[in-house]
């Protein structure tokens, strides 16, 4: 057996610390803020779980939750078989395969900050929709 080498873990430490700072710390801060009234700019006012109780009892929340779960289920039921079918078709294609892959990857090239601008241009009164 090889001796256990800790150098690999030492090399991963900076990336792990960055992930911790960028991901976990904001998550904990948001969780902490959810128990406070942060809308008053002077000081943080503790509200505890009052807002959570209010949301769970709200009929609007129940309707929204049902619509979100229904939408997620429909999207999953459509996209998963569609993605598998496209992948299987691409493996059998001999001509035009590169073009199809480029067209499928095109949305990944568009910067995320441009997507809301495109939607705003589509739904404005003089837009396409």
For 17-64, how does the pLDDT look when each residue is reduced to its tens digit (9 = 90+)? 999 999 999 999 999 888 888 777 677 788 888 889 999 999 999 999
Q: How many CA atoms lie within 13 A of 26 on its CB side?
A: 5
Regarding predicted confidence, which is higher, 129 or 38? 38
Q: Whole-model pTM?
A: 0.57
Tokens of 53: 């109780």
Q: Which pLDDT does position 43 carry in this prediction?
A: 76
Contact 81, 70 (CB under 8 A): no
Residues 6+ apart with CB under 8 A from 121: 127, 128
> How far apart are alpha carbons 88 and 85 in whole angstroms?
5
Contact 93, 87 (CB under 8 A): no
């Amino acid at each position: 057996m090889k001796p256990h080498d800790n150098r690999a873990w030492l090399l991963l430490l900076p990336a792990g610390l960055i992930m911790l700072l960028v991901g976990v710390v904001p998550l904990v801060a948001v969780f902490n803020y959810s128990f406070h009234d942060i809308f008053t700019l002077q000081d943080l006012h503790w509200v505890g779980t009052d807002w959570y109780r209010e949301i769970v009892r709200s009929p609007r929340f129940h309707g929204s939750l049902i619509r979100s779960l229904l939408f997620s289920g429909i999207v999953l039921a459509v996209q998963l078989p569609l993605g598998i079918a496209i992948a299987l078709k691409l493996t059998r294609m001999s001509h035009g395969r590169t073009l199809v892959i480029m067209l499928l990857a095109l949305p990944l090239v568009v910067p995320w900050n441009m997507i809301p601008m495109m939607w705003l241009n589509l739904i404005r009164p003089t837009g396409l929709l």
